[in-house]
Structure 1
Amino acid sequence: MSGTAPRLVGRRAECERLSGLVAAAEAGRSQVLVLRGEAGIGRTALLAFVAERAGGCRVRRAAGVESERELAFAGLHQLCGPLLDRGDALPPPQREALHTAFGLRPGGAPDRFVLGLAVLSLLAAVAAERPLVCLVDDVQEMDRPSARTLEFVCRRLPTGPVAVVLAVRDTDEEPRLTGLPSLRLRGLADGDAAALLHSTATGRLDPRVRDRILVESRGNPLALLELSRGLSPTELAFGGATAVTGPLDRRLEGEVLRQVAPLPEPTRRLLLTAAAEPTGDLALLWRAAGRLGIGPGAAGAAEASGLVTLHHRVRFRHPLARSAVYRSAAPAQRRAVHRALGEATDPEADPDRRAWHLSRAATGPDEDVAAQLERSAGRALTSGGPAAAAAFLEKAAQLTADPVRRTRRGLQAARAKVAAGAFDDAAALVVGVGEQPLPEAERGRAELLRGRISLAADRTDEALSQLLAVARRWATLDPRLARDAHLDAFRAAVSRGRTAAGPATRRVAEAVRGTPLPAGPGREDALLEGLAVLFTDGDPAAAPLLQRAVRGFLTGELPVDEAAGPVRLAAVTAASLWDPTGWDALTRRHLAAAREAGALGVLPSALEARALARVCAGDLAGAASLVAEARSVTEGAGIARASSAEAGLLAVRGDPDQAEPVLRSCLADALAHGEGHAVSTVQWARAVLANGLGRYGDARRAAEAAADPGGLGPSRWALAELVEAGVRSGDPRAAAAAFESLAAATRASGTEWALGVAAGRQALLSRGEDADALYREAVDRLTRTPVQLELARTRLLHGEWLRREGRRVDARVQLRAAHEALSAMGAGAFAERARQELLATGESVRARSATGPWRLTGQEERIARLAAAGLTNREIGTAVHLSRRTVEWHLRKVFEKLGVTDRRQLRRHLPEGPPPPG
């Protein structure tokens, strides 16, 4: 969810304490805290957490910089420089001390006591306007005068709305900031460390490797993150990575090399062998050492160095020490070690690890090893995901002398890289393949793959042209390949929507209908035929074909390449048919396949599709979790894209302050990339938001921009929004025209969702008993579906109509049901509409939060959960570092926001899942 504080794995207690510090400052009580710990333990991340939590405060930040340690007052200038405009009100001696320290006036070093008082006065003056939170990182690197002044200030911080958090790394130097309240950060617990490693790894890890990493990292978050961030699953699992991934690496590397240099040569080779074999298998290490002529005597010096222990398993002192040993060796030394490890590995028990080691030892083409790698890739696709398979195949291609085999393996590697989200790497592989003389069959596969890479990389126009050209060229030579190209072309055309030059979907449809079916058509062919009929002959002819095609994807195996294409298209088709069961099942299968395979190229879109399905089902909490996961995946992959699923989620929640910035960002992003389908989704979301808020003119304009009877998904749902907006904004002609298109599509679909939507919107255009009967039909049909959001909205429409008809008692029944459902979902604007209508019937109802329980602040949600768990106000105050009276004040706000009157009601009004950690 946009705007929420970051959730830090395993740091709940620390976040609680820091949140209490911010709350104290907001309540007018000064606080100081020193965060202590080793490099990488999470001090900076916790400072970022404080900054996010302190949204209602003024935040000033500073950090010690090694290169500025000799510049007196450089750190203090970072913190106080932007505040100097308040300095004119300080007493002259203090003002002069500040100006002298910052070089604004000539003079010698300012008096330390006067300067400290000046900083205290300056912070107090700023905090008088707004609570102030000062965050200072890496104090151990700060120039000494600044550090002394900050220590002086922290020991004398006056009572008032000021909080200071200082982070200091453990060093061999004299202790800093002694005597101040402090919090020592320890390594993460095993379970939390495993969760963090799992969240950052791009595929499955060998359990032996995972356990070894956890032991060696000792719960250090940065060690876990830096270790996995720059390495593929294959490099983590099999070793052989040489890239320096971060500053912690570089610091450790220098330390390790100083310790390794004086060791005897056999000991250095033993350490290198241990570093190259990531499972920590001691027996394997000694078998390989024997092949290298390393005797048992080398172990004593290795353990005496403190870098490694050689008992039941091989354990390095730190996982990055292992990689430093490996990187420091010459290439020839690494190759010799890998050959020994490969030859010492049992080919029956661990063929993949053997093949990987032998590949790292090769100096030229080696068909035997390449064949082993190709077999390993097949196993890796199911056990380690496409990234691991791609690594095996790419290495196999490099070791292949035969050009035809090399081409085939290179194309297989490129396909795996597309599934893994490595589009640039895939494109480079295809270019390399294209430079070789290709057999006809391989040329066709290469051309298809180029189109798929363009599509996956959001170059949709380019992809559409490439894919249609492939389909034309291979229609008679290879009908199966041509059909695959047509299916991908449909994906491109649907993505482009109305932004494509010309009717793109019809162009593809006509091309499909002019191509013969291949022998033995499968479910992809059924989907392709149905879509071709839809975009040439319309819904009545296409609906039965598409419904059968969707059912075909509900069972059977789901390879990752199908999850990337056909299943995604089938899910959009199900949504367009108002088929909630098919849509739910396909988005669930799509996501499960992407997660199971670790396919980063597929996972973000699978999460987004699933999130949108949960929004329509009324599960906004589940949708929010999926949106957050999608953001985590895309940010981890370095992809900066706005989320149309998040736009839909925020629109239904109904808070314009939260929704509008995301809607604008998504729309700009979609237009920049020429994604008409995403444009329609955003405009549909904007129409939902405006309808919820009763801004019907805005809703009509947004729905008109989104609505497209010939489109798929949200472009069709927008017709329903346009009917409501048109009626309510006084434009019955627009509403009637939209309903005509909506009725044709829903009639052809015939599902309860489709017919329920149609009946509810027709009721808006009807009068008297006809309207009442249509509303009742709509509610009856929608009750039999999982689409709870539409059901609640239809009850709201019916209740509004009943009240206007003067049937207050009947209206209350529908409005109460709507209000309870919409409030429980968190659909705040629609819930408020229902509440206002209930008030108009004479019923008293408490206001709930604008977006349900998610409108609670993090502090309020934590207190509410503790209260729901049975803690007293005094116990809650102890847990969150607040006074009993402050807890009481927060609980009164919680009760008002949630519309509850006692603690027993809290549990069912809070979203599922753990409380915010801060």
Structure 2
Amino acid sequence: MAADVGALYERDVEVGAIRQLLTDSKAGAGGIAVIEGAVGTGKTALLREAQRTAVTQSVGVTAARAADLESEFSFGVVRQLFEPLLAHEDTSQRANLLAGVDNPAVVMLDEVVAQHRSGDFAVLHSLFWLTANLSEKQPHCFMVDDLHYADMGSLKFLAYLVPHLDELACAVVATFTPFGSRQRMDLIDYITAAGNTRLLRLSPLGVDSAAVILRKRFARSGLEEAVTESLVKASHGATGGNPLLLTELADALCTEGVDLGKDYTARINELGPRAVARRVGLWMRTLSPQCVAVTRAVSVLGDGADLSEVSELADLTLEQTIQAVEELEHAAVLASSDSGGPHSALTFTHSLVRTVVYEAMPTIERGRAHHRAATILARTGMDTERVASHLLRTIPADDSETVVVLCRAAELALRRGAPDSAVGYLSRCLDEPPHGERRVEVLFELGRTLRLNDTAAATEYLRKALRLATSARREAEIALVLGRCLLLLGQSRGAMRVWTTALENTPESDTELIHHLQACVLSIPLYEPGREDMRLDILRLVALLRDKTPLSTLGGRLVNCVIAAHDAVIGDPRAVPRVLRALEDDQLIRDADADIALPFGWMVLISADRPEVFAHLDEAVAQAHREGSVSALTGALTYRALAWLRAGNLPEAEADARNAVHAVETVGTGLRRLILGPILADTLIERDDLSGAEQALDWVGVPDPPPEQGLMYYYLCSKARLMRQRGQVEGALQAASAAGQSFLAAGGQNPAVVPWHTESAFCLHRLGRTDEALTVAHEELRLARNWSAPRAWGHALRVAGLLEPDPAESLSLMEQALHRLRNSVARLEYAKALADYAAALRRRGKRAEARQHLDQALPLAETSDAVALQQQIVQEYKMIGARPRRFSSSGWDATTPSERRVSARAAAGMTNREIAKELFITPKTVELHLSSVYRKLGISTRRKLRENIPPEGLRDWE
């Protein structure tokens, strides 16, 4: 059964690319080579050649082979790569490798068992550090065969690692065949599309190479003369130039015997497509019953099967099993480890042979074999997930022990940061099925787990759990999660119905649970304005709770966040102290499932220009990484992007918004698009990227015309701004008016939240309707004055000044705008006010004074990277007959927030690795930030940092 496909025919280009990859990785510029090809095209042979090359270049190698049977086993491939490395190190070396590695990754590697859940991001970041430490010790190469079978956790790790490989002395070489689940192929596509990925597609062999393979195979049987040109062409056509199929076809022909000069074209066409399967089938018939039993047992247990376990599953004595293995090794079907004895590890020499053996077993027999394998492995103390991986392939049989093991495996997978594996175990558990309260628990756990990454799928299981729940408290707990999912999917009526029913059934004594439900109910008019049937009852509840003493419990804090949001929307300044009390000490971020209510607290502080919000959002982003919640990360990044935008730091705003877009696409929440898309669009408009802004709004997915109900006001206001910039003034006015109607439907009056008045005013002015424009602008000014936040107030003053026909009144309004904005966090709005005031001075002939204000405006615009404003300012310089000054981007004020976060920690004595670990970035990113800070501060060493950072810069972090 030996299939000699190890020779590398026509693969010089691929071998050269891998050699270059390994050379680059030794120099600290790693990357990944992904070998794509059909089964039998020589991917594994090329991987072996890569391993030989790595050894000759003194590059360390660890290898893994993914298997279909273990595709649900959490981080199965990662464990193959890392566990042997750690096992062979002494205590001190292990400590060095694990330096900077958080507990979640150690949990995943079975070093300890944590008592908490760990999310994807925490584990992936820790595994990155383990990789960095390993490659620092010695240049290293990870090799993974059959990536299309890899578990989701391992694929996510590779996807996380790939963008950072170019800063490590580490390479990855992997093979895959383009088939598999959509989720797996999406991740593989992401990996292959990365900028530092070498995608090596293996093409079929040519006719000349096919002739060489055929002659070699026929020569072994003394039939080399039978290899005629017509036989070669027919064989090449039948197999498509696939090396494995060519070899197996030749073996099949030689086994049947050939006559010289006979035309075998028809027979070849019949054999070719089924060559391997037929070959294995013929070969299996010649085996002893013991050999057949062993091959089937190994195919069920998977690669690395323990010889003693194979013996028990095959129902053979150990002596019979060893004798059968020796025969199978001689036939090059199986390979065993060098350890010898009853615990040798057995593996098929080719995965395709294992597949044929496995699939030839009757379905019922396979299921029974897996159940028996699970029993054997459980008795020997095997990892619970490995036992569960077999139970996944059994036939449901109403077995309570299977339910227990699968639930335990799901819990362990969650602890290890592998929610995808947990979903697989829980889904199979439902088929067994569990009964009574256990079924409710499984459904609820499955829904909660799916909610991390797939909100829509989670609702199905949460609905079922809610229908089966037998206690009021359990109903309320399920309703909280289900309602959040429904609201995030834009189904506000369903969310309202679920939450109000739970409120009616929850005992009055359970005040904390009631507060959680109330916070959710109160949020609906803010997320889904325009539904008067729900809004009036909710507003009465808001009024009832508003005057009560703010509560310090988690539920009470959530209620206060939502009440504060209602107050902020109508422009009541009392919202700010209420939110500050609710958000103090970050308890909501750490302890509450608060993704519905917590963002309202951030919105209030952003609208009030409160600098404290950045610290809250930074902590929320870090916590989302630690927990591995994509949903929480989406919310934190979205509102941090909004905070950066309102403050005028456009590069940070765009970076956070784009990361949030990626997270939204992962978790599938449509509601977040309605907030995030406009934030990204407004950021790009300021950067003069109108096409990008249009794409951002298209990504939101709002139909044309937009619906009258729902969270439309952010989208419509942003659309109005974009259309006005493009000169589509009539359409812009319609969009701005529609934004106002949507905002008013939510009770909205505060222009710090939605400045639709000024958008309408600009449009009316350009249409020649000046009186109307002034009326609308002054209405916004009145509302902004009531709220009294600097950015909104200054913005309204500036716009009113621009539209005011009386020159003296115009200057007065703009001077007031400058006064309001001068010391605020809204540096971009301040730069706009300076530029517009300079233009007004220029029109009155005060060119020197105008230049002074332009000289202040330009560096602010440059720091903000506000391209559109920079162009406006440069044009103003030309109109006063002056050239823009060259400003040096130096000093602490020229540093970005990210640079400040990094440099403050460096000044406090943290190492680059410690900084990178805490901020969820890479050491190279830390180095880049520090280099930029050194340049801006005019220093050259780390020792000079602390004395060059102002006290407030250190105090903000310490």
TM-score norm. by structure 2 comes to 0.55
Mapped partners of 1:256, 1:596: distance in 2: 48
Which residue of structure 2 lines up, in the alignment, with residue 219 of structure 1?
174
Residue 414 (str. 1) matches residue 447 (str. 2): yes
Tell me by how many angstroms 1:737 deviates: 0.3
Tell me by how many angstroms 1:705 deviates: 3.5
- 1:404 pairs with 414, 417, 437, which one? 437
Mapped partners of 2:637, 2:274: distance in 1: 42
Residue 502 (str. 1) matches residue 567 (str. 2): no
Q: Deviations over 1:685-744 (max 9, x none)?
A: 234446767888776654444344744998724258449737965321110101111222
Q: Deviations over 1:590-632 (max 9, x none)?
A: 5445555554556555554444444445454455455555555
Paired residues of 1:530 and 1:546 also in contact (CA < 8 A): yes
Tell me by how many angstroms 1:448 deviates: 4.3
Tell me by how many angstroms 1:427 deviates: 3.6
Mapped partners of 2:752, 2:885: distance in 1: 36
Residue 381 (str. 1) matches residue 336 (str. 2): no
Mapped partners of 1:394, 1:820: distance in 2: 57
Residue 830 (str. 1) matches residue 872 (str. 2): no
Question: AA paired with 1:421?
Answer: D
Paired residues for 1:141-180 under 5 Å: none
Residue 529 (str. 1) matches residue 560 (str. 2): yes
SS of alignment partner, residue 647 of structure 1: helix
Tell me by how many angstroms 1:528 deviates: 1.2
Which residue of structure 2 lines up, in the alignment, with residue 165 of structure 1?
none
- 1:725 pairs with 755, 762, 766, which one? 762
Mapped partners of 1:268, 1:209: distance in 2: 40
Paired residues of 2:561 and 2:579 also in contact (CA < 8 A): yes
- 1:795 pairs with 814, 834, 847, which one? 834
SS of alignment partner, residue 384 of structure 1: coil
Mapped partners of 2:580, 2:857: distance in 1: 31
RMSD of aligned alpha carbons? 5.5
Paired residues of 1:693 and 1:830 also in contact (CA < 8 A): no
- 1:575 pairs with 595, 606, 624, which one? 606
Question: AA paired with 2:449?
Answer: A
Tell me by how many angstroms 1:526 deviates: 1.9
Mapped partners of 2:635, 2:368: distance in 1: 40
Between the aligned residues of both structures, percent identity stands at: 20
Residue 767 (str. 1) matches residue 809 (str. 2): yes
Paired residues for 1:29-108 under 5 Å: 38-39=37-38
SS of alignment partner, residue 532 of structure 2: coil
Mapped partners of 1:342, 1:494: distance in 2: 54
Which residue of structure 2 lines up, in the alignment, with residue 146 of structure 1?
none
CA 1:337 to 1:408, structure 2 compared with 1: closer, same or farther past 3 Å? Answer: closer
- 2:753 pairs with 700, 716, 721, which one? 716
Which residue of structure 1 lines up, in the alignment, with residue 541 of structure 2?
511
SS of alignment partner, residue 219 of structure 1: strand
Paired residues of 2:561 and 2:597 also in contact (CA < 8 A): no
- 2:369 pairs with 315, 322, 336, which one? 336
Q: Deviations over 1:369-398 (max 9, x none)?
A: 534444444443342254444444444555
Which residue of structure 2 lines up, in the alignment, with residue 736 of structure 1?
778
Q: Deviations over 1:88-142 (max 9, x none)?
A: xxxxxxxxxxxxxxxxxxxxxxxxxxxxxxxxxxxxxxxxxxxxxxxxxxxxxxx
Paired residues of 1:703 and 1:718 also in contact (CA < 8 A): no
Q: Deviations over 1:473-515 (max 9, x none)?
A: 4363754444333333344432213xx2217555324335657
Tell me by how many angstroms 1:256 deviates: 6.6
Residue 489 (str. 1) matches residue 521 (str. 2): yes
Paired residues of 1:267 and 1:299 also in contact (CA < 8 A): yes
SS of alignment partner, residue 848 of structure 2: helix
Residue 441 (str. 1) matches residue 441 (str. 2): no
Greater alpha carbon shift after TM alignment, 369-378 vs 458-467: 369-378
CA 1:348 to 1:221, structure 2 compared with 1: closer, same or farther past 3 Å? Answer: closer
Paired residues of 1:458 and 1:673 also in contact (CA < 8 A): no
Q: Deviations over 1:228-253 (max 9, x none)?
A: 527999xxxxxxxxxxxxxx9xx999
SS of alignment partner, residue 476 of structure 1: coil
Question: AA paired with 1:668?
Answer: V
- 1:429 pairs with 437, 444, 461, which one? 461
CA 1:394 to 1:769, structure 2 compared with 1: closer, same or farther past 3 Å? Answer: same
CA 1:391 to 1:405, structure 2 compared with 1: closer, same or farther past 3 Å? Answer: same
Question: AA paired with 2:606?
Answer: A
Mapped partners of 2:421, 2:750: distance in 1: 34
Question: AA paired with 1:718?
Answer: P
CA 1:275 to 1:728, structure 2 compared with 1: closer, same or farther past 3 Å? Answer: farther
Mapped partners of 1:535, 1:733: distance in 2: 26
Tell me by how many angstroms 1:411 deviates: 1.8
Which residue of structure 1 lines up, in the alignment, with residue 702 of structure 2?
668
Residue 229 (str. 1) matches residue 262 (str. 2): no
Tell me by how many angstroms 1:840 deviates: 1.1
Mapped partners of 2:300, 2:159: distance in 1: 12
Paired residues of 1:816 and 1:838 also in contact (CA < 8 A): no
Q: Deviations over 1:515-550 (max 9, x none)?
A: 799998523422313433653786233331122223
Which residue of structure 2 lines up, in the alignment, with residue 650 of structure 1?
684
Tell me by how many angstroms 1:803 deviates: 2.8
- In structure 2, runs of 5+ residues without a counterpart are 1-13, 18-33, 42-138, 189-203, 205-241, 245-272, 339-344, 887-931, 937-958
Mapped partners of 1:450, 1:571: distance in 2: 23
SS of alignment partner, residue 458 of structure 1: coil
Mapped partners of 2:331, 2:750: distance in 1: 63
Tell me by how many angstroms 1:204 deviates: 6.0
Q: Deviations over 1:127-164 (max 9, x none)?
A: xxxxxxxxxxxxxxxxxxxxxxxxxxxxxxxxxxxxxx
CA 1:701 to 1:37, structure 2 compared with 1: closer, same or farther past 3 Å? Answer: closer
Mapped partners of 2:748, 2:459: distance in 1: 31
- In structure 1, runs of 5+ residues without a counterpart are 1-10, 15-34, 43-188, 234-247, 848-903, 909-918
Mapped partners of 1:718, 1:38: distance in 2: 55
Residue 815 (str. 1) matches residue 864 (str. 2): no
Mapped partners of 1:324, 1:227: distance in 2: 24
Mapped partners of 1:268, 1:581: distance in 2: 70
Paired residues of 2:678 and 2:715 also in contact (CA < 8 A): yes
Paired residues for 1:211-290 under 5 Å: 219-220=174-175, 223=178, 229=184, 257-258=277-278, 260-261=280-281, 262-263=283-284, 264=287, 282=304, 284=306, 287=309, 289-290=311-312
Mapped partners of 1:307, 1:598: distance in 2: 42
Greater alpha carbon shift after TM alignment, 412-421 vs 266-275: 266-275
SS of alignment partner, residue 483 of structure 1: helix
Which residue of structure 1 lines up, in the alignment, with residue 135 of structure 2?
none
Paired residues of 2:737 and 2:760 also in contact (CA < 8 A): no
Paired residues of 2:777 and 2:800 also in contact (CA < 8 A): no
